[in-house]
Amino acid sequence: MKKVNEEIIEQLLNELSLEEKISMIHGNGLFCTGEVERLGIPSLKMADGPMGVRNDFENAQWKTIGLSDDFVTYLPSNSAIASTWNQDLAYLAGQVLGEEARGRGKDIILAPGINIKRSPLCGRNFEYISEDPKLIEAIAVPIIQGIQEFDVAACVKHFAANSQETERLWVDTLIDERSLREIYYPGFKAAIDKGGTYSLMGAYNLLRGEHCCTSQYLLGDILRGEWEYDGMVVSDWGGVHDTALAAKSELDIEMSVTYEFDDYFMANPLLLKIQSKELSEELVDKKIRNILRLMLRLNMIGDQKHNRVSGTYNTKEHQEAVLEIARESIVLLKNEEQLLPLEKESVKKIAVIGQNAERIHSNGGGSAEIKALYEISPLMGLKKFLGGNVAIEYAKGYYIPTEEEKNTLNWQASSLLSKDSSGLACGSNETRDNITSPEDKISHQQKLYRNNALEIAARCEQVIFIGGLNHDFDVEGQDRVDMQLPYAQDQLIEALLEIKPDMTIVLIAGSPVEMPWSSRAKAIVWTWYAGMEGGTALTEVLFGKTNPSGHLPETFPVRLMDLLVHQLDAFGQKDRVTYEEGINVGYRHFDTKKIEPAFCFGHGLSYTEFEYLYMVTTVNEDSAPMILVDLSIMNVGDTDGACVVQLYVSDIETKVDRPVHELRAFKKVHLSRGQKTTLQFELDYDAFGYFDESSKSFVALPGQYRIEVGNSSRDIRLSNVLTLKNTYYWK
Ligand code: GLC
């Protein structure tokens, strides 16, 4: 963490009045704190979010100002950045975010979100990175470093265990110590120790009975105590519920969603308690120190403020950067008979079916929404690339009920709009012409849209389906109820496959969906909300201008009930949710229990092939690093490409329950066709350990371990067994 002159902090603290201090520790606007002009202490300006710098709101109401000066670069989501498995691109994303935030006059960007993707149903999964703490660390740390290069604070969120949206402000989360230490804490600890995040946001939920934003255990014992964090801690907006608790806690700034800023718990109510000597002013001084330290780190105050980096936004470089990230985020899930890439020269007429071909996503999702300078949809990307010489016929394909229709839909009636064997929406009035109710109207519309799409598909040689989810489902404040594709897309896909078995299926979403038709599909491409150039990047992949190199940062189950968290009914409770599955999140469960996923953690195909030639592991427990893993890989295909070499460690003699293997390192390697290269991984004892609750520390025991390398958690190409002779303990 950047060192600063603590004497300046003490000097300013001595000069500040109590009222001035209080003005600095709570919002005096929806996204800013009070300034102390006479001492040259500015207001802290904050802005969301992980996909770009959110538009400006009125200071004291949730109303966008609506000028033309806050259009910005719309970045790929954190899930998309994670899918690149490319730390350089993660750093680049951070740089874009930091420079744009500075350019927009912000001091803190409320990003990245790094909560564990514990269930595919969590509404904010699109904002998060992975199910795996090592991948979270590897992506979050460079994002934070990139942001802070521009004298803007990253604000890693939401600490901790905010992995569902259901009742997010009040749900009490119960997690065992080992799961906290092995799964839920490591991303945050790395964000501090390796990323040097200048700020951190407390989560809305409770952890073990305490609201995270004022939790003595979480912010005191763990964050400030064990981890010795000296950065600034801000609440989530409305995450504080008690003045005394907040004052005594390690929280520094209270933000909320209401407009009576002086009534915030850490505003006048706290002032009165201090003036009446009920609480000590020292409690506030601690907060002021952290706030002033943040300002010094950002060159906002002190003699360095004239050297503060200036930023900019909406530059060509930023747009090219987000295109590069989007390119590497796209995951080729399936490509039988090498159907992809399509050939621009040989195709004359393409049917593009599905509303995600045209849908704009930047303006949704909740606080991560972006007022994008532009957004290239897939349909625009295709037309731009094909340039008018190829006929493109577009059909919406599926009907999206209007808000009014959705609201009038009785929950039971709308269940009739789900699947049935006939492939047509059951409950539809196939036999009756009269449209009597909203569900009949929707079902009738679905039939019309589907028939129109099938007609167009039948007369085109190529069909590209572009569907998936949108921010009606991937959205803050609510969780999905299932993993199914909405709007009867499955029926449409099945019907299209009947007439076009070679069609390409593209899904755009922020979280896995069930794909009951996947065994019949030959070409499936997955893309996240991939930013303003998402349509350009997707088109390049479909037509081979870009060789896909994205890999899944989370497990795609065949069905929701394959997930232990859902088998145990341990997700989405309103008052208390117990993480019964413990450390068995994602592939840690699937691979240990040999459950076949639809597509596994780390999966991603390429238009070329990579061969793993050899691997040598060298162990020297007297040196650091202790283990060197040297391997050679070769691009044996006929096109350039990038390979994500993943390294998993398996404790083959384990004395305790452990996952069959765990990701401990990875490298992305770009290789020209025919090119061979060697690469080296360096491992230490921490790659072999687990958290031992009895000793309250991590431990790596002597014994045999298997080192596995491959293209995914299920595509292990080489493995070696090594032996550790010593026992290692660490915190
Ligand atoms: C929201 C979100 C948080 C966001 C903040 C400000 O409720 O939980 O991620 O940064 O409030 O919009």
What the block records as the tokens of 54 is 């959110």
Per annotation, catalytic residue among 236, 252, 479, 651:
236
Tokens representing 143 are 């994002």
Please tell me if the CB atom of residue 127 comes closer than 6 angstroms to any atom of ligand 1: no
**pLDDT, tens digit (0-9, with 9 covering 90-100), for 629-671:** 999 999 999 999 999 999 999 999 999 999 999 999 999 999 9
What pLDDT digit, counting tens, does each position of 581-601 carry?
999 999 999 999 999 999 999
Cα–Cα–Cα angle for 114, 116, 121, nearest 5°? 115
CB of 237 closer than 6 angstroms to any ligand 1 atom: yes
Residue 415 pLDDT: 45
Ligand 1 neighbour 236 (Cβ under 6 A): yes
* Closest atom of ligand 1 to CA, residue 158: 9
Does the C-beta of 110 come closer than 6 Å to ligand 1? yes
Whose structure tokens read 């497990």?
Answer: 555
d(CA 550, CA 86): 9
pLDDT average, residue stretch 151-156: 98
Q: What counts of helices (H) and strands (E) characterise the chain?
A: 19, 27
In the beta sheet, which residues pair with residue 663? Answer: 648
Q: Which residues contact 197 (CB under 8 A, 6 or more apart)?
A: 144, 148, 153, 154, 155, 156, 191, 231
Specify the residue with its C-alpha closest to ligand 1, atom 7.
Answer: 237
CA–centroid distance, residue 313 to ligand 1 (Å): 22
For residues 406 and 54, give the distance between their C-alpha atoms in angstroms, rounded to a whole number. Answer: 28
For residue 236, the CA-to-ligand 1 centroid distance in Å is 6
pLDDT band with cut points at 50, 70 and 90 for residue 424: very low
Confidence (pLDDT) at 405: 81
pLDDT value for 402? 87
Lowest mean pLDDT among 276-285, 320-329, 419-428, 674-683: 419-428
Mean pLDDT of 310-321: 98
Q: Residue 477 corresponds to which tokens in the numbers above?
A: 């404040």
**How many whole angstroms from 32 Cα to the centroid of ligand 1?**
13
Confidence class of residue 111 from pLDDT cuts 50, 70 and 90?
very high
Average pLDDT over residues 144-155: 98
CB 348: neighbour CB atoms within 10 A?
A: 11
pLDDT over threshold 70, residue 114: yes
How far is residue 258's CA from residue 149's CA, in Å, rounded to a whole number? Answer: 32
Farthest CA pair distance, the chain? 82
Ligand 1 center–CA 189 separation, angstroms = 21
Mean pLDDT of 723-728: 98
- Measured from the Cβ of residue 35, the count of other Cβ atoms closer than 10 Å reads 16
Sheet holding 728-730, edge to edge: 690-692, 697-700, 728-730
Please give the span between the terminal C-alpha atoms of the chain, in angstroms, as a whole number: 19
Tell me the CA–centroid distance for residue 48 and ligand 1, in Å: 7
pLDDT, average across residues 437-449: 86
Q: Which atom of ligand 1 is nearest to the CA of 127?
A: 9
Instruction: List, edge to edge, every strand of the sheet that includes 331-335.
Output: 331-335, 523-527, 504-508, 462-468, 349-353, 391-395
Q: Quick one: pLDDT at residue 419? A: 36
Amino acid at 108: I
Q: How far is the CA of 690 from the centre of ligand 1 (A)?
A: 33
The dihedral built from the CA positions of residue 542, 547, 550 and 551, taken in this order, carries a sign that is positive
CA of 367 to the centre of ligand 1 (A): 6
Residue 57's pLDDT band, with cuts at 50, 70 and 90, is very high
Rg of the chain over Cα atoms, rounded to whole angstroms, equals 26
Residue 73 has pLDDT above 90, yes or no: yes
Relative to the CA of 54, which ligand 1 atom is closest? 12
Q: Which atom of ligand 1 lies at the shortest distance from residue 237's CA?
A: 11
Block residue for tokens 């032996």: 723
How many whole angstroms separate alpha carbon 281 and alpha carbon 275? 9
Q: Is 330 in the pocket of ligand 1 (CB under 6 A)?
A: no
Neighbour-count burial for 323-333, b at 16+ CB within 10 Å, e otherwise:
bbbbbbbbbbb
Alpha carbon distance 547, 637 (integer Å) = 12
Query: Which is nearest to 331 in space by CA: 537, 109, 634, 107?
Result: 537
Q: H helices within 210-255, ranges in order?
A: 243-248
Alpha carbon distance 662, 642 (integer Å): 22
E strands, 56-134, are 108-109
CA distance 261 to 255: 9
Burial 260-277 (b: 16+ CB within 10 A, else e): ebeebbbbbbbbebbeee
- pLDDT tens sequence across 329-352: 999 999 999 999 999 999 899 999
Query: Does residue 315 have a pLDDT over 60?
Result: yes
The protein residue whose alpha carbon is closest to atom 11 in ligand 1 is 237
Please give the Cα distance from 2 to 676 (Å, whole number): 40
Residues 112-140, mean pLDDT to the nearest whole number: 98
Closest listed residue to residue 272, CA positions, set 243, 239, 241, 234: 243
- Output b/e per residue, 597-610; b: 16+ Cβ within 10 A: bbbbbbbbbbbbeb
Q: Which helix (H) or strand (E) holds 583?
A: none
CB atoms within 10 A of CB 111: 31
Please give the structure tokens belonging to residue 41: 């202490």
DSSP designation for 93: H
Does residue 48's CB lie within 6 angstroms of at least one atom of ligand 1? yes
pLDDT band at 439 (very low <50, low <70, confident <90, very high): confident
pLDDT at residue 429 tops 90: no
DSSP E strands: which ranges in 448-590? 462-468, 504-508, 523-527, 576-578
* SS3 category, 274: helix
The pLDDT > 70 percentage for the chain reads: 96
Q: How far is CA 663 from CA 44, 109, 614, in A?
A: 38, 29, 20
Note whether 142 and 668 are within 8 A (CB).
Answer: no
Distance CA 571, CA 554 (A): 17
The predicted structure's pLDDT at residue 451: 96
Q: Collapse the DSSP code of 514 into the 3-class scheme (helix H, G, I; strand E, B; otherwise coil) and give the result.
A: coil
Instruction: Kindly state the percentage of the chain with pLDDT values over 90.
Output: 93
Dihedral-angle region of residue 659 (phi above 0 means left; psi in -120 to 50 means alpha; beta otherwise): beta
Is 236 catalytic? The answer is: yes
Asked if 121 and 514 count as a contact pair (C-beta separation under 8 A), the reply is: no
Q: Where are the alpha helices (DSSP H) in 25-131?
A: 78-84, 87-103
Which is the closest atom of ligand 1 to the Cα of 162? Answer: 8
Query: Which residue minimizes the CA distance to atom 12 of ligand 1?
Result: 367
Report the distance separating Cα 183 and Cα 174, nearest Å.
14
Pocket probe for ligand 1: among 128, 171, 476, the residue whose CB has the most ligand atoms within 8 Å is: 476
- Across 236-240, 302-306, 482-486, least confident range: 302-306
Question: If you average pLDDT over every residue of the chain, what do you get?
Answer: 95
| Token pair for 342 | 């399509």
CA gap 471, 440 in Å, rounded: 25
What gap in Å lies between CA 229 and CA 293, rounded to an integer?
Answer: 12
pLDDT band at 442 (very low <50, low <70, confident <90, very high): confident
Q: What share of the chain is helix, strand, coil (3-state, %, to 5)?
A: 30, 20, 50
Q: What is the pLDDT of residue 443?
A: 86
pLDDT of residue 435: 63
Q: What is the full DSSP assignment across 123-157? A: TTGGGS--S-HHHHHHHHHHHHHHHHTTT-EEEEE
Extended strands (E) in 455-599: 462-468, 504-508, 523-527, 576-578
Report phi then psi at 71, rounded to 5.
-75, 145
pLDDT tens-digit map of 393-411: 999 999 999 888 877 665 5
Q: Residue 392 phi/psi, 5° resolution? A: -120, 120
Burial class (CB in 10 A: 0-12, 13-18, 19+), 300: buried
Residue 510 has pLDDT above 70, yes or no: yes
Cβ of 554 closer than 6 Å to ligand 1, yes or no, is no
∠682-688-692 over CA atoms, to 5°?
145
Helix (H) / strand (E) containing 352: strand 349-353
